[in-house]
Structure 1
Amino acid sequence: MTILVTGGAGFIGSNFILDWAADSDEVVVNVDKLTYAGNLKNLSSLGGDCRHVFVKGDIGNVELMSTLLSQHKPRAILNFAAESHVDRSIHGPADFIETNVVGTFGLLESTRAYWSALPDAEKIAFRFLHVSTDEVYGSLEKDDAAFREDSRYAPNSPYSASKAASDHLVRAYHHTYGLPVLTTNCSNNYGPFHFPEKLIPLCILNALSGKDLPIYGDGQQIRDWLYVKDHCAAIRRVLECGVLGETYNIGGWNEKTNLEVVKALCGVLDELKPLAGARSYAHQITFVRDRPGHDRRYAIDANKIATELGWTPKETFEAGLRKTVQWYLEHQEWVNEVSTGAYRVWMNAHYKVESRS
């Protein structure tokens, strides 16, 4: 038996493959374009393992994907492949449209042709699981109810708009062609192998380097935080038991402001790698100009997946954050390798300091 994972060298995809390999002997065919955030070093522990087959390629390449599907005959496809950084989508939306919309369309076309030709029993058993984001639902006010699966789509950034479009394509392929799809929309992930352009890994890296910890605006933007290993477990559960055509919101029940997250992170670093003179890393917190159209709050209502599929997150935010900080402290070689010159140029150009707290 085989599954095919797209974007498997990225943050969530690589964590999923590592967890899958720890629990299953089933082969994983990993297709990744290896853009800046894709890193095969994430999967170095699977080097030489015949259960992991890596193919460098674009999911929008219908010829390549059709060949791979015909060759490996997967029973399921899990689509993690995506451009996912909101800030980069503001500066350069074209890549997000190309990967998240056009790429998903190409993958769906390849999958539809493959699935249509399967014998009846394999056709019935086949699944296409599309991994998406809570950002497609837009922004909430402080006292609004959390996003449910039937919440109205209202994306506010080029990134979230491109993911919303991909979600709609997946839904349309189910309703028009009968493709057996499942969709998951998750909240903010954190954990090992997270590329240091997102809030938590960026602040860990900057804290250890003695640099400012940049926080947009007033730091009161609220997000729901989900430990990546919990997310991977939820996806496995949806793949196993999810109802075809349904969407499942996956959240951690951990709403925090960005400022609360960074202060908590500083507290863990103060304990695990204290600065000289008993200073706190919190003195490095710096407020920077807010990004355009910054959504104020995201919150996931994860009751459906809990009630219908029996999944709930295992990690508290405090425990997950400690594990995350500890991982980065123990993997400085990985951090140094991904923090290339191009990365530094991007960060220096993007964050403009306004004032220090």
Structure 2
Amino acid sequence: MPIDQHGDALLEGVSLRSLPKVSLHDHLDGALRPQTIIELAEDAGVEVPERDAEDLAHWFADKSDSGSLTEYLKTFDLTTAVMQTREGLTRVAREFVEDLAEDGVIYGEVRWAPEQHLGGGLTLEEVVEAVQEGLEEGEDAAADAGRDIRVGQLVTAMRHADRALEIAKLAVSFRDRGVVGFDIAGAEDGFPPSMHRAAFDYLAGEFFPVTVHAGEAAGLDSIRSALIDGRALRLGHGVRIAEDLEIVSRSGDVVEVVFGDLARWVRDREIPLELSPSSNLQTGAIAAWGEELGDHPIDLLHQLGFSVTVNVDNRTMSRTSLTRELALLVETFDYGLSDIEAFQLNAAAAAFLPVEEREELIELIAEGFER
């Protein structure tokens, strides 16, 4: 199946880009347009490694393809450097929504860490307001272009810092002003969710939704802590839950698997996995299984009935889109429209929205795939 220069492909005669999609794991500081970085950097006096947008896009992809989450995260020094003003944050958020809408996304959640955007003198509240302003401008621009999209904020704390409780309270204070959930992100190995138990206790007391980065750079203990200490409703990546599966035998498409207790809990409780295929390759998250997309355990997890969702993680670093990620999976695993629809329905059911709105989203997806 040929994938065109825009990452699109035809599946059963249908353009993947035209299908209604849901994006749950998408970082704001990982989704800047290269040209925007260049322009904002000039205004801020920030040095960029390349002055041409296409060259800068290549630079991000090359630097991110290291096989190490720690090295991968270093590329964010540049993107966050140009997101320190109200104007910069609002512009980036607006373009974030516009790009999602162009890609066929009808609901998205954007995660970002307010504590990383205070260098220009803004307060935590002001940076959240600036991003929300941009998101709403993007939604309005998409509506003017005939595309309906809604995007909610996932306010994120950096797991290596000590501000998680403060950021959790910030998130809750904006729960009726665009913030739909909480996350922790950053270097996972060595910084388990248990370090931020006070923040998670607070969020649980406020009945506030939580997703936690786990099972990417660290393994099963990280996932266990996300579920027990973080009370996570979703797992950010979570790909290494496959380490708790023992493959006993394979015969064609039939795989006999023994589940560990953790894997069975995640599967049976339908805890959504926010998998990001290209990113998982770049950061080495699937190194235990191989170095090619065909080695990714996403297909095994999908076939075993886990609640698999497909995401981009960082569009700039991976030079990708949700359409492209789906096209790569179709090409690699020979998926059909029913598989792609299943991923979207899983994501819609996992969205941090009231149940009535999730049901509406599910109906929109079903209708879109029927057409």
**TM-score normalised over the length of structure 1:** 0.32
Structure possessing the higher relative contact order (Cα contacts under 8 Å, 6 or more residues apart) = 2
What is the TM-score normalised by the length of structure 2?
A: 0.31
